[in-house]
Chains A and B, each alone.
Chain A
């Protein structure tokens, strides 16, 4: 049993990293959104193999919804929604690659060299039941605060995107001034 779980873990781990990398390697924005979703699904599957079934499944559920919305935004705002023309969408490529590789090496070294306590969950417990009791018991304030934060975000997002504000239209008077070239 643990052999199969190990094998599945490695399959999903490789899938998560490769699809995460492909997000930034494709010309098409829509494909990028779905590669990102594939990465989240692979991480959700890893969470399920780690016995956090609830977290894994809500991660997949949430990301399926979010990436669908993301794909709509892609089509709305993207330079190249369908990837019909090959194009480059990157800047400061070398710096970014060095920073990404550096972040990976530093974090992986911390993960490998630091001495974390080895205390796996005792067998015979149900993590989902534990989480439910925690959410509606000791940590209810945290849970409720997340809900209030999401409500505040909804109000803030509407305030940001509303077409007409108190002092006129959103694009009125806030156009970037035409500056003379100073070369």
Chain B
């Protein structure tokens, strides 16, 4: 277990998240891609805290901030999905063509 290995694992999770967020049609699946990217971010932040900051607790605090961002993303994301479904009866990106340039 080393900082390098942890960062590679985090990069793999982030890459899977990027793939998911770009390739999925359903809004909820896109949100899962975003969550996977935030998962990778938490792993990388804690890896840096563990290997490179000498145990500075502010590193852990940053991880808690990322978790708050994750909760905010989920709450606003679900609210937007509900709103879009109500207004446009859309549950996949292809049904929201008006935003397309």
Question: Which of A's residues lie within 8 Å of B, judged by CB?
Answer: 5-6, 9-10, 13, 16-17, 20-21, 23-24, 29, 32-33, 36, 39-40, 43, 46-47, 49-52, 54-55, 58-59, 62, 66, 69-70, 73-74, 77-79, 89-93, 95-97, 99-108, 110-112, 116-122, 125, 127, 130-131, 133-135, 139, 142-143, 146, 149-150, 153-154, 156-158, 160-161, 163, 170-171, 174-176
Contacts and interface: CB of A to CB of B under 8 A. Distances in A.
A150 B68 contact: yes
21 contacts: A46-B9, A49-B1, A50-B46, A51-B50, A52-B50, A55-B46, A70-B32, A73-B78, A89-B92, A92-B22, A96-B22, A101-B19, A105-B11, A111-B3, A112-B7, A120-B50, A122-B55, A134-B58, A153-B76, A154-B75, A158-B79
A57 B49 CA distance: 17
B67 A52 contact: no
A126 to B, nearest CB: 10
B100 interface: no
Contacts of A103: 11, 14-15, 18
Contacts of A127: 55, 57, 60
A161 B15 contact: no
Contact of B76 (A54, A55, A157): A157
A128 B76 CA distance: 30
Nearest 3 CB-CB pairings of A with B:
A121-B55, A111-B7, A104-B15
B interface secondary structure, majority: helix
Given A130-B60, A170-B86, 18 more contacts: A13-B5, A17-B13, A24-B20, A32-B32, A40-B39, A62-B67, A79-B91, A89-B25, A90-B25, A96-B20, A96-B23, A100-B19, A107-B7, A108-B11, A110-B7, A112-B8, A150-B71, A157-B76
Contacts of B65: 142, 146
A34 B3 CA distance: 28
A90 B24 contact: yes
B79 A160 contact: yes
B49 A52 contact: yes
Contacts of B61: 131, 134-135, 139, 142-143
A147 to B, nearest CB: 8
